[in-house]
Amino acid sequence: MTDDIRRNMALFPIGIVMKLTDLTARQIRYYEQHELIIPARTSGNQRLYSFNDVERLLEIKDLIEKGVNIAGIKQVLLPVSKDSEEATVLNEHSEVKRKEMTESQLHKMLKQQLFGGGNRPGQVSLIQGELSRFYQ
């Protein structure tokens, strides 16, 4: 996949990204502060975004429009690959494991609803309801 290097190659300044994503510079920088995206910098401290960064911003924008806040977006966008020691130590004892199972399922459901096809009227509540209640 030498195509990845192209997508991860920092190319455009924030001005272009603004037009590409319809987000304001303020928002883009704000999301960066919350580590939703980590653009590269020029020697002059100018932000340089890659195609991947732009796609990521589009996903973020999508979630924002669906009423998800920063905390919620982090849960959905940031790699959730961190069940290392916990799963090993307490793998047969109920509570913790059961909770992770639930969160894992919730996470899956969220991704499906958020990125999968579309939402049927009346079923969108899970996002604005559950999610915002958990990560508000």
Partner DNA sequence: GTTCTGACA
Partner DNA sequence: TGTCAGAA
Contact residues for DNA, defined by CB under 7 A: 13-16, 18, 24-27, 29-30, 44-47, 64
Shortest CB 107 distance to DNA, Å:
23
Q: What are phi and psi of 89, to 5 degrees?
A: -65, -50
Cβ nearer to DNA, comparing 48 with 109 = 48
Q: Which residue has the tokens 């100018």?
A: 46
Shortest CB 113 distance to DNA, Å:
20
Shortest CB 102 distance to DNA, Å:
29
The enclosing H or E element of 41 equals strand 40-41
Tokens of 113: 């609803």
Cβ nearer to DNA, comparing 34 with 98 = 34
Rg (CA), the chain: 18
